[in-house]
């Protein structure tokens, strides 16, 4: 069986040596895309609904005919209602799980070759047709035992060959055409295609997907609002993966969710919160969160709806350094500390290590400060990516290749939320999550960021920033009593915990200024506590946190 590792150089030389393969395929791709471009040029701006519907169908059929690589591009576009016209979006959504199936006999042949026995011997019940077909495989609803329903995903025939061929051709065309394209990405178009190819080859290795699913399930094991299907390893292989069946509603439209008595806002919050948790806490994330890969489930945990994830082929990881720097960057953005934010960009590789930050800080303040406005809730990730794409022409910004899937995941997550709620702002959910983790100080790194936020370089307490953290957390709910006490309790626990020694030391040092006692900061802190918390309830929570018998 051919290697599943993506290697651009290997595939280039493999393809060049076979002109009977690449020449007709290259002509087919160029001709097909040129025909589509002509229609888009002459009809794309039309306001006639029938013309737009026909264009959408042509776009869908073009991507479908060109195969998996192009279908994946269409899937990415299908998560962006702010980029793609409504009629086009409706058609592109079909690329998520409504593609033409391949021959059932070929699926059974692949299953038997990989698992060593025919379907009727391995399953109690196996259907005669698939329930859904996607870009890389098709899914069957089968049964193991009396009640154990499972999803069996079987890979499309000759997929490795198709991907090697098309990625090599696309890469060559991309490199040739890149000087003619209005792009200034900070790195070559070939690098983007390489990152895309690497993720695609990882996605077609179902053994890798099974490992991803199991790791993902462990991360969310204690989260009742997230469901991850269990992998049935005895009937899984490199080209076949079997998992428990998830019965739910796909996140395709608000009307469909409401028709099934499901709350779109609660589901959006779960999806975005879990996505942020993957990036900023776990460092392991689902890079393809489109509506075909997420199901709304019955039930609710507090203000969170219940979601089920499927399809774990496209996953990626962040280093601890990147994860913590991103967390700090969110805090610096909200606090409008643009000098610290510029340093974050430098650490992450968006700015060169030797770049002069002096002219860049005012630019960040103008672009990001204006987008942030007076409220956290006004921030929109899409508007920021648009502005940064313009800045790249005039300033030394670049996008590190390792962030390609991270940006895809965040943009897809925001796009999915916008599909359900056009007024959704992602940072309005992201920052309260980060703020709660900072107040809890649940890791050494979070405590370090908290100290950086609420104390300046001279050791002065930034009461205004501490108040901002609390207000952001309280803005999520209309029930003050239910939110204030957990926040107060978390802060008190942190202050009196072993790990809170640095916080206690910093607070103590605020009392000593120039070898004299100064209670100014402490008085300001006490006033903040009186403004935001009920003293009686706060005292009770403090007693409970210090008294081990209260548990």
**Cα–Cα distance between 536 and 408 in angstroms, integer?**
47
DSSP string, 79-124: T-TTTS-HHHHHHHGGGTTBSPPPPHHHHHHHHHHHHSS-HHHH-S
**3-state helix vs strand vs coil in the chain, percent to 5:** 60, 10, 30
Helical segments of 335-380, H only: 338-348, 360-372
Is the CB of residue 410 less than 8 Å from the CB of residue 276? no
Is 140 strand, coil or helix?
Answer: strand
What is the end-to-end Cα distance of the chain in Å, rounded?
58
| Dihedral sign from CA coordinates of 223, 432, 289, 415 | positive
For 45, half-sphere exposure in the C-beta direction (CA atoms, 13 angstrom radius) is 2
**Cα–Cα distance between 206 and 69 in angstroms, integer?**
18
| Closest CA relative to residue 391, chosen from 379, 399, 401, 403 | 399
Per-residue burial over 230-250, b if 16 or more Cβ lie within 10 Å, else e, is ebbeebbbbbbbbbbbbebbb
Is the CB of residue 245 less than 8 Å from the CB of residue 142? no
**Cα–Cα distance between 385 and 225 in angstroms, integer?**
30
| Dihedral sign from CA coordinates of 168, 169, 175, 176 | positive
Is the CB of residue 151 less than 8 Å from the CB of residue 244? yes
**Cα–Cα distance between 156 and 159 in angstroms, integer?**
6
Catalytic entry in 97, 205, 288, 311: 288
User: Is position 515 annotated as part of the catalytic site?
Assistant: no
Give the distance from CA 89 to its chain's centroid.
Answer: 20
- Residue that is written with structure tokens 């239910």 in the block: 482
Q: Which residues contact 525 (CB under 8 A, 6 or more apart)?
A: 461, 463, 466
How far CA 500 is from CA of 8, 31, 122, in Å, comes to 50, 65, 56
- Residue that is written with structure tokens 């055409």 in the block: 177
Question: Rg of the chain over CA atoms, in angstroms?
Answer: 26
Is the CB of residue 436 less than 8 Å from the CB of residue 491? no
**Cα–Cα distance between 66 and 1 in angstroms, integer?**
24
Structure tokens at 216: 């993902």
- The DSSP H or E segment spanning 137 is strand 137-144
Q: Dihedrals φ, ψ of 219, to 5°?
A: -65, -35
Structure tokens at 184: 């200034």
Residues serving a catalytic function are 288
């Amino acid at each position: 069986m051919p290697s599943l590792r993506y290697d651009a150089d290997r595939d280039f030389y493999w393809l060049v040596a076979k002109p009977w393969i690449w020449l007709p395929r290259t002509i087919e791709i160029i001709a097909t895309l040129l025909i589509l471009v002509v229609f888009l040029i002459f009809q794309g701006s039309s306001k006639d609904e029938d013309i737009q519907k026909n264009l959408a169908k042509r776009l869908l059929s073009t991507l479908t005919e060109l195969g998996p690589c192009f279908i994946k591009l269409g899937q990415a576009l299908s998560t962006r209602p702010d980029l793609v016209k409504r009629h086009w979006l409706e058609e592109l959504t079909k690329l998520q799980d409504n593609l033409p199936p391949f021959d059932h006999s070929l699926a059974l042949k692949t299953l038997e070759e990989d698992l060593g026995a025919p379907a009727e011997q391995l399953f109690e019940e196996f259907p005669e047709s698939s329930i859904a077909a996607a870009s890389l495989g098709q899914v069957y609803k089968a049964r193991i035992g009396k009640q154990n329903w499972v999803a069996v995903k079987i890979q499309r025939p000759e997929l490795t060959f198709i991907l090697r061929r098309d990625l090599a051709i696309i890469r060559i065309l991309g490199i040739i055409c890149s000087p003619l394209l209005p792009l200034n990405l900070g790195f070559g178009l070939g690098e983007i295609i390489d990152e895309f190819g690497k993720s695609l080859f990882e996605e077609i290795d179902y053994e890798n997907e099974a490992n991803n699913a199991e790791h993902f399930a462990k991360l969310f094991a204690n989260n009742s609002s997230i469901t991850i299907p269990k992998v049935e390893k005895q009937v899984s292989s490199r080209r076949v993966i079997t998992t428990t069946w998830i019965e739910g509603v796909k996140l395709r439209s608000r009307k469909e969710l409401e028709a099934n008595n499901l709350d779109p806002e609660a589901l959006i919050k779960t999806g975005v919160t879990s996505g942020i948790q993957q990036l900023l806490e776990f460092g392991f994330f689902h890079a393809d969160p489109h509506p075909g890969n997420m199901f709304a489930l019955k039930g609710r945990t507090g203000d969170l709806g219940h979601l089920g994830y499927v399809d774990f082929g496209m996953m990626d990881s962040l280093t601890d350094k990147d994860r913590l720097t991103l967390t700090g960057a969110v805090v610096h953005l909200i606090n409008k500390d643009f000098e610290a934010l510029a340093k974050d960009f430098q650490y992450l590789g968006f700015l060169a290590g030797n770049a002069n930050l002096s002219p860049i800080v005012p630019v960040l303040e103008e672009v990001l400060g204006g987008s942030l406005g007076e409220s956290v809730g006004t921030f929109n990730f899409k508007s920021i990516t648009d502005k940064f794409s313009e800045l790249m022409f005039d300033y030394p910004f670049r996008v590190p290749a390792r962030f390609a899937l991270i940006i895809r995941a965040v943009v897809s997550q925001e796009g999915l939320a916008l599909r359900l709620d056009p007024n959704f702002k992602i940072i309005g959910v992201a920052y309260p999550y980060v703020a709660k983790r900072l107040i809890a100080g649940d890791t050494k790194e979070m405590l370090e960021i908290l100290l950086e936020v609420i104390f300046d370089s001279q050791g002065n307490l930034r009461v205004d920033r501490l108040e901002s953290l609390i207000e952001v957390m309280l803005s999520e709910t209309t029930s003050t009593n239910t939110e204030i006490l957990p926040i107060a309790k978390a802060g008190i626990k942190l202050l009196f915990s072993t790990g809170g020694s640095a916080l206690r030391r910093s607070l103590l040092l605020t009392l000593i200024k120039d070898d004299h006692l100064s209670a100014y900061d402490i008085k300001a802190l006490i006033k903040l506590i009186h403004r935001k918390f009920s003293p009686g309830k706060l005292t009770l929570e403090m007693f409970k946190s210090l008294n081990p018998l209260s548990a």
